[in-house]
Chain A
């Protein structure tokens, strides 16, 4: 069916063995446990393979603010739409295409004639700039450290003069702190995202573990990785320890990708900003540093976005509660009714990394 490498991490018998150990740990803990992961790819794996149906009652695994597209603020989308409407070629990742701003999405702008191109990478956006020397090409850059580092590398390498970046990049660690501090959120352990940790290194979470006394395990994305991460978190909880562990050692090191980090911090600096539906989070947005202002779309253009009256349904959207881990998608009255991937109300329904879209894609409540 697939390569040996994927099969190795997709062995249902091995999964059942881990699930049995998880059962035993939960019996030993003797009370309900709430775990949070912070990555849409974790939710994808959990939903796609039906992993929740392998977990015992009392063990909740919820997704937190793990979808960079979902937490992109509506005014940021408005900026990208305005640039596209003003004649720039706006390049962005597929996930961003249908995310509604206050006055529409890039998909709407595209349907109305604007040039919006979906790219797989920052370098593909640069190629667009090279192919269209007479046009301004703006890369609407979203994502956590995993995509911020490549964006930084592109800017550091000196892209063509008609290329610029509209950064909506986000930085995960401060968001975990915010979630840990939310009064209604009760998280007993975090499953941290292996992708981002390949860049940042797992050592980054040490300070968090110390300050909040909540265990953090870095996990990978194959079904066995996810189950193993859950098992390790339960071991910590069962022992009453708040430790840090790397359950994804084949990809993640303690110090991370130091060259990528260096470039990332050379190009970007953290700034405060609103994470859609969650809160204004200090130091969790990545802005282009002044040294690279020539490539910063916000410096280069006078962006004058149309601000629309956002869909009135957004007032009933509980995306924020879902990303804070205090509600499940099927508790939302709009879920699958007024809010669908085709007509998303909240951002959680737009991105393939969003909890609502994942749940709907995998059947509504992915634990039969």
Chain B
């Protein structure tokens, strides 16, 4: 009963917010040119990417990434559109890694978590997906609406504190804004995370080589399907819960156990979008055995009911890894030994064929796995 869907909550730079700032800063705005931002632009996938390209990368891509900088060891710039950016300092001995996420989610408190936990886990996980498992600090910007019960905010902030403790990180600076009644539909929380890493330990989205094993750290689709079911008021007998959790501990176990070549947290757009991005950035193919992808029974059933593929919706406590084939079993074992990783699985491998694309073996036949084109809408029959 809403046009929002689980893939619209942001865990990456929020496209809509970014758009507003750019428009306000431009003195020659033609508001009547007919183009407006739609929910599809916030859903991850191609629509989001083209908006971010048009609005942000086109303006800041060069400045953030002067000629030659991208090739510098330990540097990751804006045009890479990775989970964050990386900046070598101290003569290249260390890279500072920076990422930011804005979080809006309806409802703000949902089965398995809340916007507070989401806003800490989202940023911690973006850092973790670049290899930074011991973040220096987080910031917290809170925008709330007049009339919001203080108790609600207490609950959200307490959840942030608990999640910070779980992730071993502290919030050290922040900002609070209050909007007038009716000017905001629920709280907005932005967190920025900063960490430091040896350049050699940086893991990017783009590091896959043919032969690498593809691992997922647990069941896929939990967050997106749980939230969609909740919003649609489906009572499926309980048991559908978001997986929102900080995965930096799990990632540390994985990177200690073997050579992790590429990594990404499969948030908006889900596993399908993440794998396509990894394949595209590395110009390799990725082959996935659909039956190896761990999906919780209840999530699979709810997905069938909703007509929405668990592979295409957000996860908030998972990571997708490319691993050197010789180390795949060791890394898998290390992840499974972690409390968040018991359902981890090797789900496929990188290939030379089908460069830039993801091939899904369904057990019946083979097809490409595409990223979702826009917001997920319920089907008619």
Contact = CB atoms under 8 A, between A and B. Distances in A.
Contacts of A367: 365, 367
A301 interface: no
Interface stretch (A25-33, A46-54, A201-209, A314-322): A46-54
B141 interface: no
Given A53-B366, A342-B373, A363-B370, A2 B380 contact: no
A1 B297 contact: yes
A368 B377 contact: no
Interface residues of B, number: 37
Contact of A95 (B3, B40, B365, B380): B380
A341 interface: yes
Nearest to A95: B380
B362 A49 contact: yes
A17 B36 CA distance: 52
A94 B378 contact: yes
Contacts of B360: 50
A78 interface: no
Contacts of B59: none
B239 interface: no
Nearest to A6: B304
Contact of A361 (B46, B366, B373, B381): B373
Given A111-B36, A119-B1, A360-B373, A51 B378 contact: no
B307 interface: yes
B368 interface: yes
Interface string A101-124: 000000100111000111110001
Interface string B293-310: 001010011001001000
B2 interface: yes
B365 A50 contact: yes
Contacts of B379: 93-95, 352-353
Given A51-B364, A54-B364, A342 B380 contact: no
A362 interface: yes
A273 interface: no
Contacts of A93: 378-380
Contact of A2 (B301, B361, B363, B366): B301
A118 B367 contact: no
A229 interface: no
Contacts of A189: none
A355 interface: no
Given A1-B297, A110-B3, A52 B365 contact: yes
Contacts of A51: 364-365
A142 B3 CA distance: 18
Nearest to A3: B301
A294 to B, nearest CB: 26
A1 B297 CA distance: 5
A368 B360 CA distance: 10
A341 B297 CA distance: 30
B297 A3 contact: yes
A17 to B, nearest CB: 12
Contact of A342 (B3, B40, B365, B369): B40
Contacts of B307: 352
Interface in B275-330: 291, 295, 297, 300-301, 304, 307
A56 interface: no
Contacts of B207: none
In this complex, the member of B40, B300, B357, B366 whose beta carbon has the largest number of chain A beta carbons within 10 angstroms is B366
Interface in B329-381: 357, 359-370, 372-374, 377-381
Nearest to A351: B380
Nearest to A127: B1
Contacts of A41: 381
B368 A364 contact: yes
24 contacts: A2-B297, A3-B297, A3-B301, A6-B301, A12-B363, A40-B381, A48-B362, A50-B360, A50-B367, A51-B364, A52-B365, A69-B380, A93-B378, A93-B380, A94-B377, A97-B377, A118-B2, A223-B364, A351-B380, A353-B380, A353-B381, A362-B368, A362-B370, A368-B368
Interface of B: 1-3, 36, 38, 40, 46-47, 232, 291, 295, 297, 300-301, 304, 307, 357, 359-370, 372-374, 377-381
Given A49-B364, A118-B2, 8 more contacts: A1-B297, A2-B301, A48-B362, A93-B380, A223-B364, A340-B373, A363-B368, A364-B370
